[in-house]
Amino acid sequence: MTSVILPGTVIDGRPATLGVLGGGQLGRMFVHAAQALGYDTVVLDPDPASPAGRVSHHQIATGYRDADGLRELAACALAITTEFENVPAEALAELARTRPVAPAAEAVAIAQDRIREKAHFARCAASGGVAPAPHAVIEREADLADVPAGLLPGILKTARLGYDGKGQARVATRDELAAAWASMGRVACVLEKMLPLACECSVIVARGRDGQVVSLPVQRNLHRGGILAVTEVFEGNVPAASADIAQAATIKIANELDYVGVLCVEYFVLDSGELVVNEMAPRPHNSGHYTVDACDASQFDLQVRALAGLPLAPPRQHSAAVMLNLLGDLWFDAHGAPRALPWREVLALPGAHLHLYGKTEARRGRKMGHLTFTGASAETARGNALRAAALLGIEPF
Ligand code: ATP
Ligand code: MG
């Protein structure tokens, strides 16, 4: 198997092709980064008009388990990555029989399952990492009675297929816990103690096949309604001691998985200052979108390099950055009627970088794009981001 695919490689008269499973905005930005290095790209996504498919050289519009689609992907791409974590791990395993695949099916399978994910975090914590929230696994009726009283009030989360706060219920009593578990269809869940959060942050690392790891700066994240709303990245966004611990813990989590590719780990900073690890995403992350405009290597550049077996030079942030997520809600007025967005005024603000994902239909909660403000100082970037937020109708932060 070829493990290094140098830029400029030509095969059968065409540039070497890199593949991605999933055609969402993360796939689209992967495609942009791969194309900048001269690679051709192929996207597999059931939607023939997916955001990544629209900009890729090749696309395969089949399901993720479709044997013909996977065969075609392996025939076309020299190496394959994924852009969403609920891609069937078996599909990655199948592709890995003939092509380098990063991240590996096993690492993705762990990230897909909160029970296995928390067990991995706990193992890393035992040798100096950061611990997950106190929690209990609920897989059968009898587990409900065994839940320690100290975990309530808590948050019940399905072990699989949760995202953007979906598949979660806040429960204060045992009765509420039993009712919430029943309403989730009695699937495997984790009950987590509700913690007093001072703020949330995340760390993105990239790790190569040779074990080289590089880290991006710690991102401070504000969630609204369970969805990322704002990411702020500049000196002092989180206490320096917490930032160092979170970066070291993320590198440990990646190393212990023998991970290859880009990995994002989310943390809580508690009122006490203590750090708690929440979850990981085996791919670039919404909180890392600012890297495209504020760093000398973006999270997508690092994904391409890790996949192609190229060196991972340590990335440097050159501008303070504030990123606003643009959800479909903004495309409607207070009466639910479609409205035009004030891009002319927004783009007149210094340091504005608008990214729209080419989605033709706005829906509430749907990620339509993001807007990053860069500046020479945190105050400049924040000031302009707040002006844009006011123009767009995003609540101040
Ligand atoms: P994502 O889109 O990041 O994958 P998710 O649906 O998987 O989200 P989590 O990240 O587990 O969900 O939780 C969503 C948000 O809910 C967190 O960012 C945090 O604001 C809040 N939250 C989750 N767990 C806890 C907890 N144990 N204590 C307090 N708040 C929590
Ligand atoms: Mg999360």
Block means of pLDDT (10 residues each) for the chain, 397 residues, are: 86 95 98 98 97 98 97 97 90 95 96 97 95 97 95 96 79 96 94 97 97 98 95 96 96 98 97 95 98 98 98 97 98 95 98 97 96 98 98 98
Q: What residue spans in the chain does CATH classification 3.30.470.20 cover?
A: 197-392
CATH fold of 134-193 reads Dna Ligase; domain 1 (3.30.1490)
Q: With a 6 A CB cut-off, is 200 part of the ligand 1 pocket?
A: yes
Q: How far is the CA of 39 from the centre of ligand 2 (A)?
A: 32
Q: What angle do CA 279, 285, 287 make, to 5 degrees?
A: 95
pLDDT at 200: 98
165 Cα nearest atom in ligand 1: 6
Query: How many Å apart are CA 386 and CA 397, to the nearest integer?
Result: 8
For the four alpha carbons of 157, 161, 164 and 166, in that order, the dihedral sign comes to negative
Q: Which pair of tokens denotes residue 265?
A: 């780990």
Q: What residue spans in the chain does CATH classification 3.40.50.20 cover?
A: 10-101
Q: Which uninterrupted H or E stretch holds 11?
A: strand 10-11
Q: How far is the CA of 162 from the centre of ligand 1 (A)?
A: 10
pLDDT at 165: 65
Nearest CA to ligand 1 atom 12: 165
Q: How far is the CA of 137 from the centre of ligand 1 (A)?
A: 17
Beta carbons of 76 and 19 less than 8 angstroms apart: yes
Query: How many Å apart are CA 347 and CA 371, to the nearest integer?
Result: 10
Q: What residue spans in the chain does CATH classification 3.30.1490.20 cover?
A: 134-193
Nearest CA to ligand 1 atom 21: 226
133 Cα nearest atom in ligand 1: 27
Q: With a 6 A CB cut-off, is 117 part of the ligand 1 pocket?
A: no
Locus of tokens 């990544």: 52
Q: With a 6 A CB cut-off, is 133 part of the ligand 1 pocket?
A: yes
Q: With a 6 A CB cut-off, is 197 part of the ligand 1 pocket?
A: yes
Q: Which CATH code is given to the segment(s) 197-392?
A: 3.30.470.20
Query: How many Å apart are CA 140 and CA 138, to the nearest integer?
Result: 6
Query: How many Å apart are CA 10 and CA 13, to the nearest integer?
Result: 6
Query: How many Å apart are CA 25 and CA 69, to the nearest integer?
Result: 21
135 Cα nearest atom in ligand 1: 27
Q: Which pair of tokens denotes residue 175?
A: 């009765």
Nearest CA to ligand 1 atom 13: 165
According to the CATH classification, is domain 10-101 in 1.10.10.2840?
A: no
281 Cα nearest atom in ligand 1: 4
What residue type is 84 in one-letter code?
Answer: F
Query: How many Å apart are CA 261 and CA 248, to the nearest integer?
Result: 17
pLDDT at 391: 98
pLDDT at 164: 65
Query: How many Å apart are CA 96 and CA 85, to the nearest integer?
Result: 16
> How crowded is residue 357: how many other Cβ atoms within 10 Å of its Cβ?
21
Q: How far is the CA of 72 from the centre of ligand 2 (A)?
A: 33
Least Cα distance to 110 among 254, 249, 286, 228 occurs for 254
195 Cα nearest atom in ligand 1: 28
Q: How far is the CA of 5 from the centre of ligand 1 (A)?
A: 37
Query: How many Å apart are CA 71 and CA 98, to the nearest integer?
Result: 10
pLDDT at 226: 87
Distances (CA, A) of 253 to 101, 163, 390: 19, 21, 39
pTM value? 0.96
Q: How far is the CA of 331 from the centre of ligand 2 (A)?
A: 24
Q: With a 6 A CB cut-off, is 279 part of the ligand 1 pocket?
A: yes
Q: Looking at 314-366, which runs of residues are DSSP E strands?
A: 320-327, 352-356
